[in-house]
A and B are shown apart, each in its own frame.
Chain A
Protein backbone atom coordinates (compact mmCIF):
# COMPACT_ATOMS: atom_id res chain seq x y z
CA UNK A 1 0.00 0.00 0.00
CA UNK A 2 2.69 2.47 1.04
CA UNK A 3 4.71 1.66 -2.06
CA UNK A 4 1.71 2.07 -4.31
CA UNK A 5 0.96 5.43 -2.78
CA UNK A 6 4.58 6.49 -3.30
CA UNK A 7 4.50 5.43 -6.95
CA UNK A 8 1.31 7.44 -7.37
CA UNK A 9 2.84 10.50 -5.76
CA UNK A 10 5.99 10.31 -7.89
CA UNK A 11 3.80 10.02 -10.97
CA UNK A 12 1.84 13.12 -9.96
CA UNK A 13 5.09 15.07 -9.47
CA UNK A 14 6.32 13.97 -12.89
CA UNK A 15 3.11 15.09 -14.56
CA UNK A 16 3.29 18.45 -12.79
CA UNK A 17 6.87 18.92 -13.99
CA UNK A 18 5.80 18.24 -17.57
CA UNK A 19 3.06 20.88 -17.25
CA UNK A 20 5.51 23.40 -15.84
CA UNK A 21 7.99 22.65 -18.62
CA UNK A 22 5.29 23.14 -21.25
CA UNK A 23 4.28 26.46 -19.72
CA UNK A 24 7.92 27.56 -19.57
CA UNK A 25 8.49 26.64 -23.22
CA UNK A 26 5.37 28.52 -24.31
CA UNK A 27 6.39 31.55 -22.26
CA UNK A 28 9.86 31.64 -23.78
CA UNK A 29 8.41 31.22 -27.25
CA UNK A 30 6.05 34.13 -26.63
CA UNK A 31 8.95 36.34 -25.51
CA UNK A 32 10.67 35.72 -28.82
CA UNK A 33 7.44 36.56 -30.60
CA UNK A 34 7.26 40.12 -29.39
CA UNK A 35 4.86 39.35 -26.55
CA UNK A 36 4.74 42.21 -24.06
CA UNK A 37 4.31 41.15 -20.41
CA UNK A 38 4.49 44.77 -19.41
CA UNK A 39 1.35 45.50 -21.40
CA UNK A 40 -0.46 42.61 -19.69
CA UNK A 41 0.70 43.86 -16.28
CA UNK A 42 -0.67 47.30 -17.07
CA UNK A 43 -4.07 46.29 -18.42
CA UNK A 44 -4.94 42.92 -16.90
CA UNK A 45 -7.41 44.38 -14.46
CA UNK A 46 -9.57 45.86 -17.20
CA UNK A 47 -9.96 42.42 -18.76
CA UNK A 48 -10.16 40.22 -15.69
CA UNK A 49 -12.91 42.37 -14.12
CA UNK A 50 -15.11 40.89 -16.84
CA UNK A 51 -14.98 37.53 -15.12
CA UNK A 52 -17.73 38.67 -12.74
CA UNK A 53 -20.04 39.39 -15.65
CA UNK A 54 -19.16 36.01 -17.13
CA UNK A 55 -19.92 34.24 -13.85
CA UNK A 56 -23.17 36.16 -13.36
CA UNK A 57 -24.29 35.28 -16.90
CA UNK A 58 -23.51 31.62 -16.27
CA UNK A 59 -25.14 31.33 -12.87
CA UNK A 60 -28.40 32.94 -13.96
CA UNK A 61 -28.48 31.05 -17.25
CA UNK A 62 -27.73 27.63 -15.77
CA UNK A 63 -30.48 28.14 -13.18
CA UNK A 64 -33.06 28.98 -15.85
CA UNK A 65 -31.74 26.24 -18.14
CA UNK A 66 -32.17 23.69 -15.35
CA UNK A 67 -35.83 24.63 -14.96
CA UNK A 68 -36.36 24.52 -18.73
CA UNK A 69 -34.60 21.16 -18.95
CA UNK A 70 -36.76 19.72 -16.19
CA UNK A 71 -39.94 20.91 -17.89
CA UNK A 72 -38.60 19.70 -21.23
CA UNK A 73 -37.80 16.27 -19.83
CA UNK A 74 -41.24 15.94 -18.23
CA UNK A 75 -42.71 16.93 -21.57
CA UNK A 76 -40.61 14.41 -23.45
CA UNK A 77 -41.67 11.62 -21.13
CA UNK A 78 -45.30 12.70 -21.12
CA UNK A 79 -48.00 10.74 -22.91
CA UNK A 80 -49.77 14.04 -23.58
CA UNK A 81 -49.27 14.89 -27.28
CA UNK A 82 -49.26 18.66 -26.65
CA UNK A 83 -46.57 18.54 -23.95
CA UNK A 84 -44.60 16.00 -25.94
CA UNK A 85 -44.93 18.00 -29.16
CA UNK A 86 -43.89 21.31 -27.62
CA UNK A 87 -40.79 19.94 -25.94
CA UNK A 88 -39.76 17.92 -28.99
CA UNK A 89 -40.15 21.00 -31.19
CA UNK A 90 -38.15 23.15 -28.77
CA UNK A 91 -35.28 20.68 -28.56
CA UNK A 92 -35.16 20.12 -32.30
CA UNK A 93 -35.11 23.82 -33.18
CA UNK A 94 -32.48 24.78 -30.61
CA UNK A 95 -30.20 21.85 -31.32
CA UNK A 96 -30.53 22.34 -35.04
CA UNK A 97 -29.40 25.98 -35.12
CA UNK A 98 -26.15 27.72 -34.09
CA UNK A 99 -26.02 29.48 -30.74
CA UNK A 100 -24.71 32.60 -32.48
CA UNK A 101 -27.82 32.81 -34.67
CA UNK A 102 -30.00 32.36 -31.60
CA UNK A 103 -28.18 35.22 -29.91
CA UNK A 104 -28.66 37.50 -32.92
CA UNK A 105 -32.32 36.53 -33.25
CA UNK A 106 -33.03 37.39 -29.64
CA UNK A 107 -30.98 40.59 -29.50
CA UNK A 108 -31.63 41.98 -32.97
CA UNK A 109 -34.67 40.06 -34.19
CA UNK A 110 -37.02 40.38 -31.23
CA UNK A 111 -36.96 44.23 -31.10
CA UNK A 112 -38.24 44.16 -34.67
CA UNK A 113 -41.37 42.41 -33.41
CA UNK A 114 -41.38 44.85 -30.50
CA UNK A 115 -41.45 47.89 -32.77
CA UNK A 116 -44.36 46.36 -34.66
CA UNK A 117 -46.28 46.09 -31.39
CA UNK A 118 -45.31 49.68 -30.55
CA UNK A 119 -46.73 50.81 -33.86
CA UNK A 120 -49.97 49.06 -32.94
CA UNK A 121 -49.98 50.82 -29.59
CA UNK A 122 -49.11 47.92 -27.30
CA UNK A 123 -46.22 49.64 -25.53
CA UNK A 124 -45.87 47.22 -22.64
CA UNK A 125 -45.81 44.26 -24.98
CA UNK A 126 -43.22 46.07 -27.06
CA UNK A 127 -40.98 46.58 -24.03
CA UNK A 128 -41.14 42.84 -23.39
CA UNK A 129 -39.58 42.17 -26.78
CA UNK A 130 -36.82 44.73 -26.43
CA UNK A 131 -34.18 43.18 -24.23
CA UNK A 132 -30.89 44.58 -22.99
CA UNK A 133 -27.75 42.83 -24.15
CA UNK A 134 -27.36 41.09 -20.81
CA UNK A 135 -30.98 39.89 -20.78
CA UNK A 136 -30.60 38.68 -24.34
CA UNK A 137 -27.44 36.79 -23.39
CA UNK A 138 -29.15 35.11 -20.45
CA UNK A 139 -32.18 34.21 -22.56
CA UNK A 140 -30.09 32.77 -25.40
CA UNK A 141 -27.84 30.72 -23.13
CA UNK A 142 -30.78 29.48 -21.04
CA UNK A 143 -32.80 28.40 -24.06
CA UNK A 144 -29.79 26.79 -25.69
CA UNK A 145 -28.53 24.87 -22.69
CA UNK A 146 -32.05 24.03 -21.55
CA UNK A 147 -32.56 22.13 -24.79
CA UNK A 148 -29.32 20.18 -24.51
CA UNK A 149 -29.88 19.45 -20.83
CA UNK A 150 -33.39 18.15 -21.50
CA UNK A 151 -31.95 14.93 -22.84
CA UNK A 152 -29.65 14.65 -19.82
CA UNK A 153 -32.59 15.09 -17.46
CA UNK A 154 -34.72 12.63 -19.37
CA UNK A 155 -32.00 9.99 -19.29
CA UNK A 156 -31.40 10.62 -15.58
CA UNK A 157 -35.06 10.35 -14.65
CA UNK A 158 -35.60 7.28 -16.81
CA UNK A 159 -32.63 5.54 -15.21
CA UNK A 160 -34.59 5.21 -11.97
CA UNK A 161 -35.84 1.63 -11.88
CA UNK A 162 -39.46 0.97 -12.68
CA UNK A 163 -39.84 -0.75 -9.31
CA UNK A 164 -39.49 2.64 -7.60
CA UNK A 165 -42.46 3.95 -9.54
CA UNK A 166 -44.47 0.81 -8.79
CA UNK A 167 -43.75 1.03 -5.06
CA UNK A 168 -44.99 4.62 -5.07
CA UNK A 169 -48.10 3.77 -7.08
CA UNK A 170 -48.89 0.82 -4.80
CA UNK A 171 -48.80 3.23 -1.84
CA UNK A 172 -51.46 5.28 -3.60
CA UNK A 173 -49.32 8.13 -4.95
CA UNK A 174 -50.42 9.85 -8.13
CA UNK A 175 -48.05 10.57 -10.98
CA UNK A 176 -47.02 14.00 -9.74
CA UNK A 177 -46.40 12.77 -6.17
CA UNK A 178 -44.36 9.87 -7.54
CA UNK A 179 -42.24 12.26 -9.61
CA UNK A 180 -41.73 14.78 -6.82
CA UNK A 181 -41.12 12.43 -3.88
CA UNK A 182 -39.50 9.38 -5.46
CA UNK A 183 -38.16 9.89 -8.99
CA UNK A 184 -36.83 13.47 -8.90
CA UNK A 185 -34.81 13.24 -5.67
CA UNK A 186 -33.02 10.16 -7.01
CA UNK A 187 -32.73 11.49 -10.54
CA UNK A 188 -31.19 14.79 -9.46
CA UNK A 189 -28.33 12.93 -7.79
CA UNK A 190 -27.54 11.28 -11.07
CA UNK A 191 -27.96 14.49 -13.05
CA UNK A 192 -25.91 16.88 -10.89
CA UNK A 193 -22.49 15.92 -12.30
CA UNK A 194 -23.88 16.54 -15.77
CA UNK A 195 -25.26 19.93 -14.78
CA UNK A 196 -21.73 20.70 -13.57
CA UNK A 197 -20.29 19.72 -16.95
CA UNK A 198 -22.82 21.89 -18.74
CA UNK A 199 -21.99 24.77 -16.41
CA UNK A 200 -18.31 24.44 -17.28
CA UNK A 201 -19.06 24.26 -20.99
CA UNK A 202 -21.31 27.30 -20.72
CA UNK A 203 -18.54 29.41 -19.20
CA UNK A 204 -16.74 29.20 -22.51
CA UNK A 205 -19.88 29.71 -24.59
CA UNK A 206 -20.49 33.03 -22.84
CA UNK A 207 -17.68 34.33 -25.08
CA UNK A 208 -20.19 34.25 -27.91
CA UNK A 209 -22.48 36.79 -26.25
CA UNK A 210 -19.63 39.32 -26.48
CA UNK A 211 -20.96 40.05 -29.97
CA UNK A 212 -23.75 42.03 -28.31
CA UNK A 213 -21.31 44.18 -26.43
CA UNK A 214 -21.79 42.69 -22.98
CA UNK A 215 -18.77 43.71 -20.95
CA UNK A 216 -17.63 40.19 -20.13
CA UNK A 217 -14.16 38.70 -20.49
CA UNK A 218 -13.97 38.29 -24.25
CA UNK A 219 -15.50 41.65 -25.06
CA UNK A 220 -13.14 43.48 -22.74
CA UNK A 221 -10.10 41.60 -24.04
CA UNK A 222 -11.09 42.26 -27.61
CA UNK A 223 -11.78 45.93 -27.00
CA UNK A 224 -8.47 46.60 -25.29
CA UNK A 225 -6.61 44.54 -27.88
CA UNK A 226 -8.06 46.47 -30.81
CA UNK A 227 -7.18 49.79 -29.24
CA UNK A 228 -3.46 48.99 -29.00
CA UNK A 229 -3.13 46.09 -31.45
CA UNK A 230 -2.10 43.79 -28.62
CA UNK A 231 -4.23 40.80 -29.62
CA UNK A 232 -1.87 38.10 -28.42
CA UNK A 233 -1.53 39.68 -24.98
CA UNK A 234 -5.18 40.38 -24.28
CA UNK A 235 -6.72 37.28 -25.85
CA UNK A 236 -4.22 34.99 -24.14
CA UNK A 237 -5.03 36.74 -20.87
CA UNK A 238 -8.75 36.12 -21.45
CA UNK A 239 -8.03 32.51 -22.38
CA UNK A 240 -5.97 32.04 -19.24
CA UNK A 241 -8.81 33.47 -17.14
CA UNK A 242 -11.35 31.07 -18.68
CA UNK A 243 -8.93 28.25 -18.09
CA UNK A 244 -8.46 29.06 -14.42
CA UNK A 245 -12.21 29.51 -14.03
CA UNK A 246 -12.75 26.05 -15.50
CA UNK A 247 -10.16 24.46 -13.25
CA UNK A 248 -11.68 26.04 -10.16
CA UNK A 249 -15.23 25.04 -11.14
CA UNK A 250 -14.17 21.47 -11.94
CA UNK A 251 -12.56 21.20 -8.55
CA UNK A 252 -15.68 22.51 -6.85
CA UNK A 253 -17.78 20.08 -8.86
CA UNK A 254 -15.73 17.06 -7.85
CA UNK A 255 -15.99 18.09 -4.21
CA UNK A 256 -19.75 18.45 -4.51
CA UNK A 257 -20.00 15.03 -6.13
CA UNK A 258 -18.03 13.42 -3.36
CA UNK A 259 -20.25 15.03 -0.75
CA UNK A 260 -23.42 13.92 -2.52
CA UNK A 261 -22.13 10.36 -2.78
CA UNK A 262 -21.80 10.31 1.00
CA UNK A 263 -25.50 10.95 1.52
CA UNK A 264 -26.40 7.27 1.37
CA UNK A 265 -23.15 5.43 1.18
CA UNK A 266 -22.28 2.38 3.24
Chain B
Protein backbone atom coordinates (compact mmCIF):
# COMPACT_ATOMS: atom_id res chain seq x y z
CA UNK B 1 0.00 0.00 0.00
CA UNK B 2 0.96 3.62 -0.47
CA UNK B 3 1.24 6.10 2.37
CA UNK B 4 -1.76 5.96 4.70
CA UNK B 5 -3.72 9.22 4.65
CA UNK B 6 -5.08 11.17 7.63
CA UNK B 7 -8.84 11.34 8.11
CA UNK B 8 -8.94 14.98 7.01
CA UNK B 9 -7.63 13.98 3.57
CA UNK B 10 -10.27 11.36 2.81
CA UNK B 11 -12.88 12.31 0.26
CA UNK B 12 -16.40 12.32 1.75
CA UNK B 13 -17.70 8.76 1.77
CA UNK B 14 -14.33 7.45 0.64
CA UNK B 15 -14.97 8.00 -3.04
CA UNK B 16 -12.12 6.48 -5.01
CA UNK B 17 -11.25 7.49 -8.56
CA UNK B 18 -11.63 4.53 -10.90
CA UNK B 19 -8.55 2.99 -12.53
CA UNK B 20 -6.28 3.21 -9.50
CA UNK B 21 -5.69 -0.54 -9.23
CA UNK B 22 -2.08 -0.01 -10.32
CA UNK B 23 -1.37 2.00 -7.19
CA UNK B 24 -1.44 -0.59 -4.42
CA UNK B 25 1.60 -2.78 -4.54
CA UNK B 26 -0.27 -6.05 -4.16
CA UNK B 27 2.91 -7.98 -4.91
CA UNK B 28 3.55 -7.62 -1.20
CA UNK B 29 0.94 -10.35 -0.65
CA UNK B 30 2.90 -12.86 -2.76
CA UNK B 31 2.80 -16.41 -1.56
CA UNK B 32 6.57 -16.81 -1.31
CA UNK B 33 6.97 -18.18 -4.82
CA UNK B 34 7.59 -15.99 -7.84
CA UNK B 35 7.50 -16.89 -11.52
CA UNK B 36 10.71 -16.83 -13.51
CA UNK B 37 11.06 -17.47 -17.23
CA UNK B 38 13.54 -19.38 -19.30
CA UNK B 39 13.33 -17.20 -22.42
CA UNK B 40 14.90 -19.80 -24.72
CA UNK B 41 11.87 -22.04 -24.10
CA UNK B 42 9.29 -19.25 -24.54
CA UNK B 43 7.33 -19.39 -27.79
CA UNK B 44 5.56 -16.08 -27.13
CA UNK B 45 2.10 -17.69 -27.16
CA UNK B 46 1.07 -15.19 -24.42
CA UNK B 47 -1.15 -17.71 -22.63
CA UNK B 48 0.49 -16.54 -19.39
CA UNK B 49 -0.53 -12.96 -20.21
CA UNK B 50 -4.05 -14.13 -21.04
CA UNK B 51 -4.51 -16.18 -17.88
CA UNK B 52 -2.82 -13.93 -15.31
CA UNK B 53 -5.61 -12.71 -12.99
CA UNK B 54 -3.53 -9.71 -11.87
CA UNK B 55 -2.36 -8.40 -15.26
CA UNK B 56 1.14 -8.96 -13.97
CA UNK B 57 2.60 -10.33 -17.20
CA UNK B 58 4.32 -7.50 -19.07
CA UNK B 59 4.30 -7.07 -22.82
CA UNK B 60 6.47 -5.08 -25.15
CA UNK B 61 4.07 -4.58 -28.00
CA UNK B 62 3.03 -8.18 -28.63
CA UNK B 63 6.18 -9.72 -27.18
CA UNK B 64 6.44 -11.29 -23.73
CA UNK B 65 8.52 -8.91 -21.56
CA UNK B 66 8.67 -10.46 -18.10
CA UNK B 67 6.66 -10.14 -14.88
CA UNK B 68 5.42 -7.17 -12.85
CA UNK B 69 6.48 -8.29 -9.38
CA UNK B 70 4.76 -5.25 -7.82
CA UNK B 71 1.44 -6.95 -8.64
CA UNK B 72 2.20 -10.67 -9.06
CA UNK B 73 0.73 -12.62 -6.12
CA UNK B 74 2.48 -15.89 -6.93
CA UNK B 75 -0.68 -17.82 -7.82
CA UNK B 76 1.24 -20.07 -10.29
CA UNK B 77 -1.46 -19.91 -12.96
CA UNK B 78 1.07 -18.68 -15.56
CA UNK B 79 3.34 -21.62 -14.79
CA UNK B 80 0.44 -24.04 -15.25
CA UNK B 81 -0.75 -22.29 -18.42
CA UNK B 82 2.68 -22.25 -20.06
CA UNK B 83 2.63 -25.04 -22.72
CA UNK B 84 6.44 -25.30 -22.98
CA UNK B 85 7.37 -25.28 -19.28
CA UNK B 86 9.28 -22.03 -19.73
CA UNK B 87 7.90 -20.59 -16.45
CA UNK B 88 9.12 -21.97 -13.15
CA UNK B 89 8.04 -20.93 -9.65
CA UNK B 90 11.05 -19.98 -7.54
CA UNK B 91 11.13 -19.60 -3.78
CA UNK B 92 11.87 -16.07 -2.65
Is chain B a partner of chain A in the same complex? no
